[in-house]
Structure 1
Amino acid sequence: MEKAPLQIKEQQAIAPYAYTQAGGVADYLAIPQTLTELTDLLAWAKDQDLPVHIFGRLSNLVVRSGGLRGLVILTTDLKDIRQDGLKLTAQAGCDIIWLAAVAQEKGLAGLEWSAGIPGTVGGAVFMNAGAYGGQADMVVTEVKAVMPDLTLQTFAQDDLAFAYRHSVFQDNGGVIVEVTFALTEGNQADIRAKMDEINYARANKQPLSWPSNGSVFKRPTGHFAGKLIMDAGLQGTRVGGVEVSKKHAGFMVNLAQGTGNDYEDLIHLVQEKVFEAYQVELEPEVRILGDR
């Protein structure tokens, strides 16, 4: 095998990087500092015929205890932001919370909904993240991505195939590297007040003091996942170290060194019990990856 680039670490635990604080070992893991390094890593993995997994903060993800084969790339050091009038362009690893704060400082409105989302710009676009009445597809106008053939391709808004918790990048293998957001002129104080209101609501409703992967299930048609789980009496249900939050039934929290397998098993248990009670199928919003 051709020698790996210097920044690659072998047999690296994923848990320390994940919001769940769970997950097995990656064969290889790298955190590129530049877009050139990212492309070089992709080229190396392609040459070695290795699968590649691209993550930001791993905040909407369960990695099974058996870990991930191939190369894991974390984009978190790719976080530059630039402004062009009412537009902000951010690299994929930029925290969406930080981008919202920058927008507020510049008097740009449209990202208030993302003020408390613990993920990156790339992840927000990949999953078409949303909260509190806002969503990525409402403000994203252009995305640049490195495609499987290693070419850099620009996607206009109409090319992104946005849907509920979906984008074209879940289907085409493209690696998001840069995103442009079209915002509107606003008042700094009003924007800050809205962000504070959202963060206050989060702190009151969500179990932010424990590791979790955010809202676990997509919203089923005609229902709310959290209410179904609560009404089924599942709050406090536990598998290993992972529990259905007593504060918000839509969350699962890592209370005692829970594993990726604990998360997955608890997800399946909740799906089974909710279907038994209400004949509603809960579909995970979080991605579940890796070997058991």
Structure 2
Amino acid sequence: MAIDLIQAFPAIKVLKDEPLKNYTHTKIGGPADWLVFPHSIEETKQIVDFARENGLALTVLGNSSNLLIKDGGLRGIVVMMTELTGLSVDGETVTALAGSLTIDTAEFAFVHGLTGLEWAAGIPGSIGGAVYMNAGAYGGETSDVLATVDVLSRDGEFKTYTLAEAQLAYRDSIMQHTHDVILAATFQLQVGDKVVIREQMDDFNARRAAKQPLELPSAGSTFKRPEGHFAGKLIMDAGLQGFRAGGAEVSRKHAGFVVNIDHATAQDFLDVIKHVQEVVAQKDHVLLEPEVRIMGED
């Protein structure tokens, strides 16, 4: 008998053969066999347990901002954590459920007069993604303020990692290797001057709007920062701004971004990434590694 998640989880939003391009910031991505939207930690555990017990592949996504899903989509169950939201404050700590937006969390900290998350004011991802990737911008990153992260192992065990145990490094964390499902994160902040906090957040957002191609679909910064270099400058100096494959193009506004300018496919994006890597490697002998997560089937 075929497995039917709609029947298995009548109280949870479940979509079958759902195009993931409807949810990604690139507007690209093939179908998910099953797309599931848990509202609570308990519902998330039920889904993780069901996948394990039925031998189904399980992929966990957040706001899908720094992500490229291939045109063949994803098999098994895709858990979309965007409905698992909630923010709370306790003294100088803020706790956010994994689906909470990074932008909303930074605003929440500001409202409560807490400093430390200003750099996150314009990052479009979710808290789960920020912790998973150790997201950062403008000299700050998640590891600067993370206190603990609550996770669910693929075996269905709840765990809490300290900052040291989470092993956050440049665009890396222990969760990328254990595949634990991030449920919530607590941040250690400090009391600050709300006027100063607001000014810094506004400044970062103005700089982002001026320099980044926010008006076009993209996966954010495409490449990791190579040691001793800036990816965008290497790409610009190689004359690659405006290079296009199909509907994907190296942004003319910021060379570190690949943008969807005309109904691009994932393969278009991958073709641009490969060409940029080859040209920069030949010209500067620098290997550009994708920062964007690439997943799915061709």
In the superposition, the TM-score normalised over structure 1's length comes to 0.98
2:292 is the counterpart of 1:291: no
Question: Equivalent residue for 2:67?
Answer: 61
2:200 is the counterpart of 1:187: no
Question: Equivalent residue for 2:101?
Answer: 95
- Could you say what secondary structure the match of 2:52 adopts? helix
User: Tell me, which stretches of 5 or more residues in structure 2 are unaligned?
Assistant: none
- The CA deviation at 1:77 is 0.9
Question: Equivalent residue for 1:209?
Answer: 215
- Could you say what secondary structure the match of 2:155 adopts? coil
**Which of the residues 263, 282, 286 maps onto 1:280?**
286
Mapping of 1:1-292 within 5 angstroms? Answer: 1-4=2-5, 5-6=9-10, 7-292=13-298
- CA deviation digits over 1:215-243, x for unaligned, max 9? 00001111110000001000000111111
Does the aligned pair in 2 maintain the 1:62–1:264 contact within 8 Å? Answer: no
- CA deviation digits over 1:155-212, x for unaligned, max 9? 1111011110000000011000010000000011110000000001001100010011
Distance 2:95 2:167 in 1: 20
Opposite residue 121 of structure 2, the aligned amino acid is: A
- The CA deviation at 1:256 is 0.6
- The CA deviation at 1:2 is 4.7
Distance 1:39 1:261 in 2: 34
Between 102-111 and 47-56, report the one with greater CA deviation.
47-56
Distance 2:287 2:3 in 1: 46
Distance 2:167 2:28 in 1: 31
- The CA deviation at 1:42 is 1.0
- CA deviation digits over 1:85-135, x for unaligned, max 9? 000001000000000001111100000000010000000000000000100
Opposite residue 206 of structure 1, the aligned amino acid is: Q
**Aligned-residue CA RMSD in angstroms?**
0.9
- Could you say what secondary structure the match of 1:76 adopts? helix
Q: Identity over the aligned pairs, expressed in percent?
A: 46
Size of the aligned set, in residue pairs, is 292
Distance 1:214 1:156 in 2: 28
Between 257-266 and 80-89, report the one with greater CA deviation.
257-266
- Could you say what secondary structure the match of 2:71 adopts? coil
